[in-house]
Amino acid sequence: MAKSLNQTDFYSRVYKVVESIPSGRVTTYGAIAGYLGVKSGARMVGYALNQLIQLRTDKHYPAHRVVNRLGQLTGRGYFPDDTMRERLEQEGVTFTEEYTVDIQNHFWDPSEEENDG
């Protein structure tokens, strides 16, 4: 039986995965989308994270731990100054270039975790 996927449900599921990303690790928009069963939905994951700005919730979502497939901090425009990079560095994440995470050493795959996504 096919599951209907509405935007609110999808966004909630994205936020649940983002909450699960361990400190010092990063994942990609595509890895989250694939885990949620929407293989080509990386852009939708980005839209969901962008929506967090408008939610104005007290709940903390570590969106700074989500990067593009190359490890680039493509979401940094939504953080003040260099906050995204600074938060990652504080967690021990290393970089291969100024705004590119060492993805091979810090990648976290949600499909390998015990999430109930």
Q: Is 117 inside a domain boundary?
A: no
Burial zone of 80 (CB within 10 Å; 0-12 exposed, 13-18 middle, 19+ buried): exposed
Contacts of 110 (CB under 8 A, 6+ apart): 17, 20, 21, 27, 31, 32, 35, 117
pTM for this model (two decimals): 0.88
Domain of 35, in residue numbers? 7-107
Q: Domain tally for the chain?
A: 1
- Per the structure block, which two tokens stand in for 56? 């104005």
pLDDT in tens, 8-21: 899 999 999 999 99
pLDDT in tens, 31-68: 999 999 998 999 999 999 998 877 767 678 999 999 99
What's the CATH number where 43 sits?
1.10.10.10
Query: Is beta strand 95-97 parallel, antiparallel or unpaired with respect to 100-101?
Result: antiparallel
